[in-house]
Amino acid sequence: MPASSASFWLASTEVSSFDKLTTDLTVDVAVVGGGITGISLAYLLAKEGKQVALLDAGRLLNGTTGNTTAKITAQHDLIYDELIHHIGEEKARLYYEANDEAIAFIRNTVLENKISCDFAEENAYIYTTAEANIAMIDKEWKAYEKLGIPGLRADRIPLPVDAKASIVMPNQARFHPLAYLKHLIKHFINNGGQIFEETTAMSINPGSPLTTVVTRDGTQVKCRDVVSCSHFPFYDVSGFYFARLYAERAYVLGVKLNGDYPGGMYLSADSPPRSIRSVSFNGEDLLLVGGERHKTGQGICTMKHYERLETFVRDTFGSCEIPYRWSAQDLTTLDKVPYIGHVVKNEPHAYIATGYRKWGMTSSTAAALLLKDMILGIDNRYEDLYTPSRFYADPSLKTFLVENADVAKHLINGKLEWVTREPEDVRPDEGAVVRVNGKRAGAYREADGTLYVVDTTCTHMGCEVQWNAGERTWDCPCHGSRFSFSGEVIEGPAKKSLKQIEY
Ligand SMILES: Cc1cc2nc3c(=O)[nH]c(=O)nc-3n(C[C@H](O)[C@H](O)[C@H](O)COP(=O)(O)OP(=O)(O)OC[C@H]3O[C@@H](n4cnc5c(N)ncnc54)[C@H](O)[C@@H]3O)c2cc1C
Ligand code: FES
């Protein structure tokens, strides 16, 4: 197993760096979050002549977008049968169409601008190797037929696995997401866009005619419209997003095969699911194999997830090298449809886009196209589908109750956990929950012996964080915040670091 946990995308692409915001600024639109959502939206708005500032808390593209597998497809797992039952046939069809248009937008942007980003058309396959799951594939296929989604119901697939049933969605695609987005960044700057890194947006003061975005350092961006593309919304304004979104991590291996790959992008509908696609960039040919999803902070020892993926790869493809491994997380909404639109109904100039359920290449592009129209005052037929104010009793209420009962369970269990280890017991490059002055704490010892001890109570809403050995982070099981081993926030909703404990 490789020691490096950098993604292939980040390792193979140099993205320019930008200064932090040091003086107050007035623009038309503040876009917060420099992942695929923020960059795509900023690019589109600047093209329309808007003055846009793009802010990122860290470096652009180092969030989930830098750690994706980047299949560009409207085949979002088994979803269409479920959508028909929960949100109705018309909206289920719109969901497909929004994602299909997003694929077309990416394809056209790549072709028109001759972007060299390994863009290639591929068939997407969802398949099962279990007799018991054939009925699920058949139900999904009926939904394709009902909605008029182009595809093919087949048994076999080109991969060397014992598939029992599959659905092929043709003319989907793959790309190198960072090579593509670098190009959009260049155009954004050429169109007058401004980018600020290491600039964390903390809150907004809604106002008329201008809203103010306040950063951690106290600098302010005044703007007519503000959009949270920060993955977890950086402001909530009583939208209760922490209770309406949950975070799931997943793991990826970058594999060099010894044999040939038959082509195609695959996702198994089995448990545990496996995702496969190939990439060919700068003379490097790899297979990306993903899976092992679990709620953030609630998995087994993280290294075990990589080991299980490796076993799957060797059983399926034989001997191989594995030069890359990484993991990341994405957010899911109560009804599995992203939240894109006004953060709450009565804030006409504050927007969010999030909750892509690991299908953010097309969903973020659909979000950028929709939000661009909303900001420019143009009607868009997808507004109702994605509005964050929607509520479907089934399935939203059920998911809300299950997810929030899970949060309550982790809140209580973390407090009751009996901890026996002391910081002295922690070995080099080990992290563990320990007891300090009779209280639960977290300790990590660097290879050179330096010890970091932090209060494990999450600064968001007080759950107890868990050690993630694969990434050397403290992860919160309640709403998915993540902290470095020394306590700094890596991913929200938490905004404050874990308290360091002198030891
Ligand atoms: C393992 C894995 C595999 C995936 N594979 C696929 C796939 O094959 N196909 C697909 O379509 N989707 C896939 N996805 C999903 C997709 O990668 C994500 O949905 C998408 O990248 C999310 O993009 P984003 O711009 O919303 O968020 P991010 O890329 O996370 O960007 C958010 C940015 O906001 C910044 N930020 C956060 N808080 C603040 C703040 N307060 N102030 C300023 N900046 C802030 C962060 O620093 C970050 O740069 C996958 C996801 C995972 C986890
Ligand atoms: S992320 Fe909400 S309590 Fe930790």
The pLDDT value recorded for residue 208 is 86
Per CATH, the homologous superfamily of domain 13-68+178-243+336-393 is FAD/NAD(P)-binding domain (3.50.50.60)
The pLDDT value recorded for residue 2 is 54
Residue 5: pLDDT above 90?
no
Cβ neighbours of residue 368 closer than 8 Å, sequence gap 6 or more: 37, 40, 41, 43, 44, 353
Residue 274: pLDDT above 80?
yes
Tens digits of residue pLDDT in 168-212: 999 999 999 999 999 999 999 999 999 999 999 999 998 889 999
Q: What percent of the chain has pLDDT over 70?
A: 98
CB of 106 shorter than 6 A to ligand 2: no
How far is ligand 1, taken at its centre, from the CA of residue 398, in Å?
A: 26
Mean pLDDT of the 358-372 span? 98
Tens digits of residue pLDDT in 149-158: 999 999 999 9
The SS3 assignment for 55 reads strand
In Å, what is the CA distance from 284 to each residue of 4, 9, 28, 172? 17, 12, 42, 22
User: Fold for domain 417-491?
Assistant: Rieske Iron-sulfur Protein (2.102.10)
Nearest CA to ligand 1 atom 1: 250
Among all ligands shown, which has an atom nearest to the Cα of 124? Answer: 1
Among all ligands shown, which has an atom nearest to the Cα of 77? Answer: 1
Residue 1: pLDDT above 70?
no
Cβ neighbours of residue 197 closer than 8 Å, sequence gap 6 or more: 17, 18, 19, 20, 34, 56, 58, 59, 60
CB of 295 shorter than 6 A to ligand 2: no
Domain ranges of the chain: 13-68+178-243+336-393, 417-491
